[in-house]
Amino acid sequence: MQDKLYVYIVSDSIGETAEQVAKAAISQFEDVKYIIKRFSYISDSEQIFDIIEQAKKFRSIIIFTTVIDELKETLIDECEKNNIEYVDIMSSVMNSLHSVLGIEPINEPGVIRKLDERYFNRVEAIEFAVKYDDGKDSRGIKKADIVLIGVSRTSKTPLSMYLAHKNIKVANVPLVPEAPVPDELFEISPKKIIGLTANPIKLNEIRQERLKALGLNNNASYANLDRILEELDYAEKVMKKIGCAIIDVSNKAVEETAGIILDIMRENGII
């Protein structure tokens, strides 16, 4: 086993970066037999001493990505005492960035993973908003962080997507007099539900524009003022029965309405 190279990956986070760098570098040398040992979430000097005890028995190199100064200094000191080759991947890059940016690094382990987790949570929330848009599947109501209800063209979908980009899972349900209200809306806390309404004149204008965009006759009942008044009246009754908060979106940008929703949800202890 002595002819093999032992590569010790040491990190105060997962250590994936150091391992990938090590593999990429070793691949440039032909016929090298090696064993990679990864030590993740190193948090104290005793762990480093144990790693050094192992490493000094073999032909070894230690590659590390720790950003905690105390651990880094201990690791370097122990490697030099025991004549073990080491590579500090992070320091040279961070020192150069510090020189260019003129600010100190935060030296917090695992930051990139936290960013990755936020990214994947956002993707999951966006996929959720698409899957449970416009009442496609009422099962999403119980899974959602927030449920938006309202008549057509009250910004349910744009709000769902906007909130999804803030890692919030949103389902939205259209309220139509001829369609039964999903039972699930009465099986969750009304604090998770936001009712959206609008001025009937404004809604009439929006729906007429929508019909024009679709190349349809704007005399359709969809944009008829009496029909809109009927829908709004029906929606209000449903919202009051549920007991949820109601927001008039008539003259509000999506960002403004989203801000109000977030404030309500924080007050309700939902997010």
**pLDDT at residue 60, as a whole number:** 96
Domain boundaries, the chain: 5-109, 118-267
Residue 1 pLDDT level (bands cut at 50, 70, 90):
very low
Q: Contact at 8 Å (CB) between 173 and 147? A: yes
pLDDT for 41-77, tens place per residue? 898 999 999 999 999 999 999 999 988 888 999 999 9
200-232 b/e (C-beta count within 10 Å ≥ 16 → b): beebbebbbeebeeeeeeeeeebbeeebbeebb
The fold adopted by the segment(s) 118-267 is Rossmann fold (3.40.50)
Compute the distance between CA of residue 172 and CA of residue 140 in angstroms, rounded to an integer. 9
- The amino acid present at 86, given as its one-letter code, is Y
Helix (H, G, I), strand (E, B) or coil at 16: helix
- Is 150 annotated for ligand binding? yes
- Is 152 annotated for ligand binding? yes
**pLDDT at residue 134, as a whole number:** 95
Residue 94 pLDDT level (bands cut at 50, 70, 90):
confident
Which residue stretches of the chain are H helix? 16-26, 45-55, 69-81, 89-101, 111-131, 140-143, 156-164, 200-213, 225-242, 254-267
Tell me whether residue 33 is exposed, middle or buried, using C-beta atoms within 10 angstroms of its C-beta: 0 to 12, 13 to 18, 19 or more.
Answer: exposed
Compute the distance between CA of residue 90 and CA of residue 143 in angstroms, rounded to an integer. 41
Residue 97 pLDDT level (bands cut at 50, 70, 90):
confident
Compute the distance between CA of residue 256 and CA of residue 253 in angstroms, rounded to an integer. 5
Q: What is the mean pLDDT of residues 184-199?
A: 98
Helix (H, G, I), strand (E, B) or coil at 39: strand
Helix (H, G, I), strand (E, B) or coil at 213: helix
Same fold, 5-109 and 118-267: yes
Residue 115 pLDDT level (bands cut at 50, 70, 90):
low
Kindly state the DSSP code that residue 27 receives in the 8-state scheme. T
Model confidence, pTM: 0.62
Does 248 score more than 90 pLDDT? yes
Architecture of the CATH domain 5-109 = 3-Layer(aba) Sandwich (3.40)
- The amino acid present at 266, given as its one-letter code, is R
- Is 155 annotated for ligand binding? yes
- Is 45 annotated for ligand binding? no
**pLDDT at residue 69, as a whole number:** 85
CA-based angle 100:102:104, to the nearest 5?
115
Q: Contact at 8 Å (CB) between 61 and 37? A: no
Q: Hey, which of 23-32, 37-46, 105-114, 195-204 has the most confident mean pLDDT?
A: 195-204
3-state helix, strand, coil in the chain (%, to 5): 50, 15, 35
